[in-house]
Amino acid sequence: MSTNYRLRVIRAEGLQWQPSWDSKVPDPYAEGKLGDATRRTRTIMRNPSSMWDESFVFSSSNKFVILVIEVKDESVRSRDTSIGRVEIQPADLLMKVPLG
């Protein structure tokens, strides 16, 4: 039996960014991965405190699947750079959310 999970990406505040020749301010987006499925937010240009408020639905029959959420800087000239990343089992999140 498959379980659906809804990931809501609201915002990122005060991203720590190392200025480079490519960019003095990041162009962040958030990416969520669950199993083989990947979803991403839109890119917010030149803003270290970004507001997305976007939702994605993932489905998995594996109750031990890992949810990976990563904020990246979009780059035109090179590979996108990871700004931050977290890995967690959705079941761990569900135990922390009050019902009702």
Q: What is the pLDDT of residues 13-48, one digit of tens each?
A: 888 877 766 667 889 999 999 999 999 999 999 888
Instruction: Count the Cβ atoms, other than its own, within 10 Å of residue 38.
Output: 12
Enclosing domain of residue 63: 3-96
Residue 99 pLDDT level (bands cut at 50, 70, 90): low
Report pLDDT digits (tens) over 70-83: 999 998 888 999 99
Kindly state the tokens that stand for 17. Answer: 């960014």
CATH of the domain at 16: 2.60.40.150
Give 47-62 pLDDT, tens digit per residue.
888 999 999 999 999 9
Structural domain total, the chain:
1
The full 3-state SS of 20-35, as one line of letters, equals CCCCCCCCEEEEEEEC
